[in-house]
Structure 1
Amino acid sequence: MERYNQITNKNMREIVLLKAHPCAWGKCRFCDYILDNSKNKMEMLKLNHEVLSHVTGKFGVLEVINSGSCFELPRETLAEIRSIVQKKHIRRLFFEAHWMYRNMLQKMRDYMGVPITFKIGVETFNNDFREQYLNKNADFSSAEEVAQYFDSPCLMVGIKGQTREMIDYDIKMLKKYFQLGTINVYTNNSTDVKRDEQLVSWFRKKYSCLDEDPSVEVLYENTDFGVGD
């Protein structure tokens, strides 16, 4: 599995995929990504140290992802990230966190000592689809509410049961309330959530303009950031 890469097309940065404790929620219907977590602390610390050793500070920006939220990384790994921020002159971090951690974001910003762009896996702003079908456990009522805490939503498109109208609305909310965002085109995995090929084809045609939009990163494959497998 690739765990380090450099993103050079949009928002240039280094990115690392680390191991963390099990996701505090871990019940999203579409997600088998949590299989990358661990309960073996020494294993996590050793792997994370090796991955972080590749960070050069080349762009002054570092994104750290894991199979859940940044708050589930071992304390020792967070301390190592903070040390790298200082030694490699990192000016900005990208972290991801679940909605349940919304009141802890400032504490992490204070700890790291540099600006953090916090991502959140929204998947969709359609409350019923997000909560009743995808089981996100993220009970916000609007995109505006999410923007009060987080900087960059991650949307998901191309799921059976999703509609064109839902996707149109989600992208409209992304552009209205956020300066950055990520759109993940759904890929079938080991869960019972399935990809809608017709919806994906429609999205790719209608929103091809996003490929040139510096504020939106579209992932057509799970590994488009160059990490994972």
Structure 2
Amino acid sequence: MGIRYSKIENKNKREIVLLKSFPCKYGKCKFCNYIEDNSTDELEINKINLKIMEEITGEFGALEVINSGSVFELPMETLQKIREVVYQKSIKILYFEIYYGYKNRVDEIREFFKGVEIRFRMGMETFDNDFRINSYGKNFKIDIVEIEDLSKKLYSICLLVCVKGQTKEMIEKDIELGLKYFKSVTVNIFVDNGTEVKRDEELVKWFVEKYRHLQDNSRVELLIDNKDLGVFEQ
């Protein structure tokens, strides 16, 4: 059994919940074992989620909701409960995850949570189209025009670093572009998880030495370990 509720108290203070959801609509990312937390049993999903949400206090005025997919894979009953809790606890900022394929639907969520600032985070993983498609299995291509468009819709992107096949130059460019175009960047150092994507220990050593200072940057969440946010499903 994992941990589904936690508090982030170092920077960008917020509560965070890991909710269950329907299967990720995409579900083909080569590095992801996270989708094993999905379910098709709506009753079970809502039962677990409603119990988790009882723990939310609203103390920071900010809540992050993560699930193994996108916000659009959460059942309506769960979404309604989130809305109820957010209004009851006077939460002003709400973080959600979306997949690239949902980028044109973000206003639906903003409309549903009227009066709350919605901050969307998306897994870009890398700005290198070939590496994203071939090594990560994320089948979308973007150019600078679309990056600029996404930067208006999204608050944050996730970058996945230190995997076999990546180069230092690719990582440097990813960090540079992420900080140039987006308000916030989450940088995940890959941890081996039984998938075909593998961690590169040499890159990890180089990265931690070169980019440790990002931990002091208020715009960056640097996850040295994928359990650093305090929520995870074993």
TM-score normalized by structure 1?
Answer: 0.98
Q: CA deviation at 1:2?
A: 0.2
Matched, 1:156 2:160: yes
Who is 2:105 aligned against?
A: 104
Q: CA deviation at 1:37?
A: 0.6
Q: Distance in 2 between matches of 1:61 and 1:138?
A: 31
User: Which amino acid in 1 is paired with 2:165?
Assistant: G
Q: Contact 2:135/2:197 (CA < 8 Å) preserved in 1? A: no
Q: CA deviation at 1:179?
A: 1.5
Q: Map 1:58-207 to 2 at 5 A.
A: 58-113=59-114, 114-142=116-144, 143-207=147-211
User: Which amino acid in 2 is paired with 1:206?
Assistant: K
Q: Distance in 1 between matches of 2:118 and 2:140?
A: 21
Who is 1:7 aligned against?
A: 8
User: Which amino acid in 2 is paired with 1:194?
Assistant: K
Who is 1:38 aligned against?
A: 39
Q: Distance in 2 between matches of 1:13 and 1:161?
A: 35
Q: CA deviation at 1:190?
A: 1.5
Structure 1 unaligned spans of 5+: none
Q: Contact 2:71/2:96 (CA < 8 Å) preserved in 1? A: yes
Q: What secondary structure does 1:223 align onto?
A: coil
Q: Contact 1:140/1:146 (CA < 8 Å) preserved in 2? A: no
Q: Distance in 1 between matches of 2:134 and 2:230?
A: 32
Q: What secondary structure does 2:231 align onto?
A: coil
Q: Distance in 2 between matches of 1:93 and 1:137?
A: 28
Q: CA deviation at 1:102?
A: 0.5
Q: CA deviation at 1:135?
A: 1.2
Q: Which runs of 4+ in 1 moved over 6 A?
A: none
TM-score normalized by structure 2?
Answer: 0.96
**CA displacement 1:135-187 (0-9 Å, x = unmatched):** 11233223324313211010011100001000000000111111111000000
Structure 2 unaligned spans of 5+: none
Q: What secondary structure does 2:57 align onto?
A: coil
Q: What secondary structure does 2:180 align onto?
A: helix
**CA displacement 1:58-95 (0-9 Å, x = unmatched):** 00000000000010000100000011111000101000
